[in-house]
Amino acid sequence: MSDCSENERPQNNKKTKNVKVKTKLLTKHKHKQTGAWLALFENIFVLESRLVLTDGYLLLFFALSLAATFALARQIVFSWQWLIATIWTGLALGCTLSVKFTGLGAVGLVGVHQLYALLRWHIFGPRRKSSSVIKALYNLIVDAGVRGIVILGLAVAVLTLMFAIHITILPYNGEGNGFMSQEWRNSLVARPSPGKPEPEIDPYLKQLSMPARIWELVHTMWVVNLGLRAPHPFGR
């Protein structure tokens, strides 16, 4: 009896250990599973799919921007991981801005977080103790300049690219052109009719270049959105 009990003890201990490991894994990822189930049964996604809204994409790229800025704050300055995280942050912010102008909030949030990360790394962190005040300020300015140029430059590039694609694939005249200038409207063509050749742009009309058209479109959308005062019909 004693031999049998001694042989069964290792097996029982192994089973108990496996149960503990499985329980630990389930408990560790419990919050992730809860979030996944909440997103799965969220009715707002059904509403957005019916009304062709873009808030789902905005939340996705906003979350990617937050993940990128936190990943950037954990990297050693000017390392390959730091460069990849910086590029990731700029691309994510550009995608966020391309969805809605509400994405400017992500730019402000990332900017505040990066400012905190810079101060913690160069001024209040362990690197400050190994360098003088002038050198610490110099490193802070250089690091902030590189991050600002790369992140903002990539964000603006992605935003410009998205608008360029939009203008290229939608060159037709429509009802919303009254907000634009005559030169901007000259670059549009009439909608094609069935059985007729594709209409072409009149080369004798004064037209704007693609960068000028993108700038005017973004500026006009911004100004018009600021002037909206009527309540939204679905917001009542």
Nearest to 143 by CA among 125, 167, 170: 125
In a domain, 97, yes or no: no
Instruction: Give CA–CA dist 197/217, Å, rounded.
Output: 28
Number of domains in the chain: 1
In a domain, 217, yes or no: yes
Instruction: Give CA–CA dist 153/147, Å, rounded.
Output: 10
Instruction: Give CA–CA dist 106/152, Å, rounded.
Output: 12
Average pLDDT rounded to a whole number, residues 92-96:
96
Amino acid at 143: D
Average pLDDT rounded to a whole number, residues 88-117:
94
**Nearest-10 crossing angle of helices 104-122, 80-99:** 160
pLDDT tens digits, residue range 172-220?
A: 887 778 888 888 888 888 776 676 666 666 666 778 889 999 999 999 9
CB atoms within 10 A of CB 137: 13
Average pLDDT rounded to a whole number, residues 136-159:
94
In a domain, 25, yes or no: no
pLDDT of residue 77: 87
In a domain, 209, yes or no: yes
In a domain, 187, yes or no: yes
Q: What's the distance, CA 29 to chain centroid?
A: 25
Q: What's the distance, Cα to Cα, between the start and end of the chain in Å?
A: 78
Instruction: Give CA–CA dist 123/120, Å, rounded.
Output: 6
pLDDT tens digits, residue range 16-55?
A: 555 555 455 555 566 667 766 776 666 666 666 666 678 8
In a domain, 161, yes or no: no
Q: Is the dihedral of CA 19, 23, 28, 34 positive or negative?
A: positive
In a domain, 79, yes or no: no
pLDDT of residue 224: 85
In a domain, 5, yes or no: no
**Domain carrying residue 219:** 171-230
Average pLDDT rounded to a whole number, residues 225-232:
78
**Position 157 confidence tier, pLDDT thresholds 50, 70, 90:** very high
Residue 189, strand partner residues = 172
